[in-house]
């Protein structure tokens, strides 16, 4: 057997091993238990949403008072 044949054989084995390990790593990725959108909604919560709506309502009320 020629030395080039041995190196070629080792190169093919290394390529397939790399491909196998790459697919294994992608398959074993951890999934987050909650999405970023759900996390943002959880952090905002009802208090912040209520605060935003009140702020908008007060801003609209001030605009109405200036018209008198």
Q: Render 25-49 in DSSP notation, one character per residue.
A: HHHTPPPPSS-HHHHHHHHHHHHHH
pLDDT at position 44, please?
Answer: 67
Place of tokens 């093919």: 12
Q: DSSP secondary-structure letter at 68?
A: -
Top mean-pLDDT range of 11-15, 26-30, 59-63: 11-15
Which of 5-14, 23-32, 55-64 shows the lowest per-residue confidence on average (mean pLDDT)?
Answer: 23-32
Domain spans of the chain? 44-68
pLDDT at position 17, please?
Answer: 95
């Amino acid at each position: 057997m020629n030395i080039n044949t041995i190196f070629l054989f080792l190169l093919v084995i290394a390529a397939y091993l790399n491909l196998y390990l790459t697919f294994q790593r992608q398959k074993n990725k951890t999934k987050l238990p909650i999405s970023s959108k759900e996390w943002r909604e959880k952090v905002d919560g009802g208090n912040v949403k209520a605060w935003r709506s009140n702020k908008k309502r007060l801003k609209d009320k001030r605009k109405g008072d200036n018209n008198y």
